[in-house]
Amino acid sequence: MIIVNLDVMMAKRKMSLNELSERVNITVSNLSILKNNKARAVRLSTLNAICKALNCNVGDILDYVEGEDEENE
How does pLDDT run along the chain (73 residues), one tens digit per residue? 899 999 999 999 999 999 999 999 999 999 999 999 999 999 999 999 999 999 999 999 999 999 866 555 4
Give the pLDDT confidence score for residue 6 in this predicted structure. Answer: 95
Q: In terms of residues, how long is the chain?
A: 73
- Residue 16: CB atoms within 10 Å: 11
User: Is CATH 3.30.590.10 what the domain over 2-72 is classified as, yes or no?
Assistant: no
Question: Could you tell me the end-to-end alpha-carbon distance of the chain, in angstroms, rounded to an integer?
Answer: 11
Give the pLDDT confidence score for residue 28 in this predicted structure. Answer: 96
Give the pLDDT confidence score for residue 67 in this predicted structure. Answer: 80
Give the pLDDT confidence score for residue 63 in this predicted structure. Answer: 94
Give the pLDDT confidence score for residue 69 in this predicted structure. Answer: 63
Q: Is the dihedral of CA 43, 37, 33, 54 positive or negative?
A: negative
* C-beta separation of 43 from 34 below 8 A: no
